[in-house]
A and B are shown apart, each in its own frame.
Chain A
Amino acid sequence: EAAVTQSPRNKVTVTGGNVTLSCRQTNSHNYMYWYRQDTGHGLRLIHYSYGAGNLQIGDVPDGYKATRTTQEDFFLLLELASPSQTSLYFCASSEGARSERLFFGHGTKLSVL
């Protein structure tokens, strides 16, 4: 079974704070994704990447940066966190073809006070 590990599991910060969410996959997958999950909105794609050094913009990218440092590691950065970014964040990976399944991490619950 594919393994995607996120850290931290929970994070609390204040408005204007700087937050980095980490994700590591050990499946040699090409694609990695960051989603946020909110009631009434479902899962929305923030950023994704198809390899080290690559970054693609998702559907809700405002206020977020991301960086893919290696094939295994994908980071989501909130440089000036706002309360609207309070959410459950999921990282996922896939091999890459359009028909491939996504493997999700356990999620990071972020609260911005």
Chain B
Amino acid sequence: GDSVTQTEGLVTLTEGLPVMLNCTYQTIYSNPFLFWYVQHLNESPRLLLKSFTDNKRTEHQGFHATLHKSSSSFHLQKSSAQLSDSALYYCARPGGAGNKLTFGIGTRVLVRP
């Protein structure tokens, strides 16, 4: 069935260093859509990136990700982390029939000075 697996737990890093959060997926569909959502403390999740084109890099707010169907991956990257990037990050994809969106368990990122 359809599922999403992402880096688990807490990722702690120092400001200015690169960050990469892993996301892999399983699907029966040949043209998957993948999303990254971000949720800052005491806020609601909001869309960060989305992609449905194989091997095309998508960018927003300094973050980028590339959908690779060959490896079923959609890893989130940023070259230089900022303190304001501390948040909970969700990888997500539509799952099954209908329009329901299935989220991974989330990866918490803590950026320290």
Chain A residues near B (Cβ < 8 Å): 31, 33, 35, 40-45, 48, 50, 56, 58-59, 90, 94, 96-102, 104-107
Contact = CB atoms under 8 A, between A and B. Distances in A.
Interface string B98-113: 1111111110000000
Interface in B20-52: 33, 35, 37, 43-47, 50, 52
Nearest to B107: A42
B50 A99 contact: yes
B98 A56 contact: yes
Contact of B47 (A40, A44, A59, A101): A101
Contact of B99 (A40, A42, A97): A97
A105 B43 CA distance: 9
Contacts of B74: none
Contact of A102 (B101, B104, B105): B101
Nearest to B8: A40
Task: For chain B, give the interface size range.
Answer: 20 to 34
A99 B33 contact: yes
Contacts of A106: 43-44
Contacts of A99: 33, 50, 52
25 contacts: A31-B99, A33-B101, A35-B103, A41-B105, A42-B90, A43-B90, A43-B103, A43-B106, A48-B98, A48-B99, A48-B100, A50-B98, A56-B98, A58-B100, A59-B102, A90-B44, A90-B45, A96-B99, A99-B50, A99-B52, A101-B47, A102-B101, A104-B44, A104-B46, A106-B43
List the 9 closest A-B pairs by CB distance, nearest first.
Answer: A104-B44, A42-B105, A43-B103, A101-B47, A42-B106, A98-B94, A42-B103, A99-B33, A104-B45
Given A42-B90, A48-B99, A102-B47, 5 more contacts: A40-B105, A42-B105, A42-B106, A48-B100, A97-B99
A45 B101 contact: yes
